[in-house]
């Protein structure tokens, strides 16, 4: 049903294969004479199908920018390119844009929109020749800047309506209550750590923030308003002000520090403060119904959440299918 709607709109989702015949990650969209690859790994010269572009929504590893960044056909925001270079220590070979700009890809006007998942994270939209408005969201924290569309390609990281873990709100007040000297927050170096810095600064903390080297380099590179930061070179030493390090490094810090993990998960040794880079399932469903697509393809992540979200969307009158069902 959804596939026939997509076919009538002049768009076919296809999955590129690697040399062993296995599917490459995520999806490519074939329309008119073009193919846009979404968050997939790059093909090689001998591959039969070559996309016009590799759209990289953001620099988290499970969106495969580490591979796509080495293709001249890669397309991502300036911040995503910088984050990929810092994270993976390689030169980004593709083209970049300022988030919000419209770019020309082989004659197609592609608009770019913030989805507020990480610094530089991007949703892409364009129209095919028959006027179908296509929107690819990437991972989304806030959908308020996304345009209405006819075909929506979106995520389901917290997309299972039957799973209590897919309902949450950010506990910003809980975070504000623990801000102070001798406090360490566990947060992944890309994405969560910059969200933590901005929340801590917004709460009025002017003092130093000490970070592990990767978190420090990413935050310094990506945030112009991060305030005083210092790099932790030696975990055993004294640390200035507040500390933000990956969750698995909290145990390396002095036992005298108060430690918390910024996460929605409950399986860490340290107390959790719920701060997420994602929308919960209520947000995802509200996003889809608000964007009013004729069809929705749920393309990320792996596992069964995309099919759970698609099943629910069909029940509420939004034709949807998960990539795994194609």
Q: Which residues bind Zn ion (CB under 5 A)?
A: 60, 139
Compute the least distance from the CB of residue 87 to Zn ion, in Å: 12
Using alpha carbons, select from 207, 222, 199 the residue that is nearest to residue 78: 222
CB nearer Zn ion, residue 60 or residue 305: 60
DSSP 8-state code for residue 1: -
Element holding 34 (H helix, E strand)? strand 34-38
Nearest distance, CB of residue 276 and Zn ion, angstroms: 11
Give the whole-angstrom CA distance, residue 197 versus residue 203: 10
- The Cα-based distances of 137 to 41, 114, 131 in angstroms read 18, 9, 19
CA dist., res. 312 & res. 106, Å (int): 37
CB of 60 to Zn ion, least distance (A): 3
Contact 146, 133 (CB under 8 A): no
Given the complex with Zn ion, which of 62 and 127 has the nearer CB atom?
A: 62
Closer of 165 and 203 to Zn ion (Cβ): 165
Nearest to 273 by CA among 152, 185, 165, 201: 185
Give me the least distance between CB of 290 and Zn ion, in Å please: 21
* CB-nearer residue toward Zn ion: 139 or 170: 139
For Zn ion, the closer of residues 140 and 151 by Cβ is 140
Minimal distance in Å, beta carbon 56 to Zn ion?
11
Instruction: Calculate Rg over the CA atoms of the chain.
Output: 20
Residue nearest to Zn ion (CB): 60
């Amino acid at each position: 049903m959804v596939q026939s709607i997509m076919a009538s709109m002049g768009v076919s989702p296809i999955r590129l294969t690697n040399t062993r015949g296995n599917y490459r990650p995520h999806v490519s969209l074939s329309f008119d004479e073009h193919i846009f690859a979404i968050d997939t790994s790059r093909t090689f010269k001998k591959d039969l199908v070559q996309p016009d572009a590799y759209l990289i929504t953001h620099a988290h590893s499970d969106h495969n920018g580490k591979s796509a960044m080495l293709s001249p056909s890669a397309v991502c925001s300036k911040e995503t390119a910088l984050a990929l270079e810092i994270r993976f220590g390689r030169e980004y070979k593709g083209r970049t844009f300022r988030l919000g700009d419209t770019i020309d890809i082989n004659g197609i006007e592609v608009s770019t929109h913030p989805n507020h998942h990480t610094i530089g994270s991007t949703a892409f939209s364009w129209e095919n020749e028959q006027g179908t408005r296509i929107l690819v969201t990437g991972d989304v924290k806030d959908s308020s800047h996304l345009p209405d569309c006819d075909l929506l390609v979106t995520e389901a990281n917290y997309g299972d309506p039957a799973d209590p873990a897919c309902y949450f709100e950010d506990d910003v007040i809980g975070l504000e209550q623990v801000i102070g000297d001798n406090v360490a927050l566990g947060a992944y170096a890309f994405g969560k750590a910059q969200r933590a810095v901005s929340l801590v600064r917004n709460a009025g903390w002017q003092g130093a923030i000490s970070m592990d080297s990767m978190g420090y380099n990413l935050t310094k590179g990506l945030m112009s308003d991060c305030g005083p930061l210092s790099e932790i070179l030696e975990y055993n030493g004294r640390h200035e002000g507040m500390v933000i390090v990956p969750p698995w490094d909290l145990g390396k810090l002095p036992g005298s520090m108060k430690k918390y993990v910024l996460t929605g998960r409950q399986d860490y040794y340290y107390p959790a403060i719920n701060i997420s880079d994602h929308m919960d399932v209520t947000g995802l469903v509200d996003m889809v119904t608000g964007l009013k697509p004729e069809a929705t393809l749920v393309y990320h992540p792996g596992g069964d959440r995309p099919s759970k979200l698609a099943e629910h969307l069909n029940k509420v009158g939004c034709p949807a299918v998960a990539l795994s069902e194609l």
